[in-house]
């Protein structure tokens, strides 16, 4: 699991409104049908990537490296 420090949370909270504004600006280039299509495609990608986020465990229950991305961290649990 990843955890932010207090400074990290502060930076995240200060940055988030700018990212949301930028996302809205990008989506303005699409009409309603295109936004719905994009939303459906993004949902499909998220669902397809779910197995990548599952931990690979050995017989003792300890996490193994997720070979698809080469990362061994709590984010894969």
- 7-54 residue pLDDT tens: 999 999 999 999 999 999 999 999 999 999 999 999 999 998 887 766
74 Cβ partners below 8 Å, 6+ apart?
A: 1, 2, 63
Number of folded domains that form the chain: 1
CA 54 to CA 33: how far, in whole Å?
33
To the question of pTM greater than 0.85 for the whole model, the response is no
CA 73 to CA 52: how far, in whole Å?
12
Domain residue limits at 21? 6-76
Per-residue confidence (pLDDT) for residue 56, from 0 to 100: 57
pLDDT at 71 over 60: no
Per-residue confidence (pLDDT) for residue 1, from 0 to 100: 76
| Residue 1 forms part of a structural domain | no
| Residue 55 forms part of a structural domain | yes
């Amino acid at each position: 699991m990843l955890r932010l420090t207090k400074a990290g949370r502060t930076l995240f909270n200060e940055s988030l409104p700018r990212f949301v504004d930028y996302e809205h600006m990008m989506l303005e280039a699409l009409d309603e049908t295109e936004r719905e299509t994009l939303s459906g495609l993004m949902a499909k990608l998220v669902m397809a990537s779910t197995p990548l986020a599952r931990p690979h465990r050995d017989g003792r229950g300890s996490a193994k490296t997720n070979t698809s991305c080469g990362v061994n961290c709590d984010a894969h649990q």
